[in-house]
Amino acid sequence: MNQPVLAMLNQPQVTVLSKAAAVETAFSEEIKPVEVSDVESGAFKAMLAFIYADDLSGLNGDNAISVLYAGEF
């Protein structure tokens, strides 16, 4: 499994995911970067933090509209 992905998961999630054949197959291929050019990087990071960690600390008045825009994709 890809190390950066494992770093974002806690131990029970890693154990379950490592046992799933479909996930094993999905991560056995090289993952290519995806360029998202029309969303600000800070807004994209704030959106990901909310999706994966339920963390709103990156959301503020300056980037709220950008995060909303990023979430429409």
**Residue 59: its pLDDT value, please?**
87
24/43 same-domain check: no
| Alpha carbon separation from 50 to 13, 19, 68, 71 (Å, rounded) | 18, 26, 12, 10
In tens, the pLDDT along 43-61 reads 888 988 988 999 999 888 8
Pair 42, 12 in one domain: no
**Nearest 10 degrees: CA dihedral of 52, 57, 58, 64?**
100
Same structural domain for residues 28 and 43?
Answer: no
Do 41 and 28 belong to one domain? Answer: no
pLDDT recorded at residue 2: 47
| 66 and 55, same domain (yes or no) | yes
Total domains in the fold of the chain? 2
The whole-number pLDDT of residue 69 equals 86
CA distance linking residue 40 with residue 35, whole number of Å: 12
| Regions of the chain short of the pLDDT cut 50 | 1-2, 6
Structural domain of 53: 34-73
* pTM over cut 0.75: no
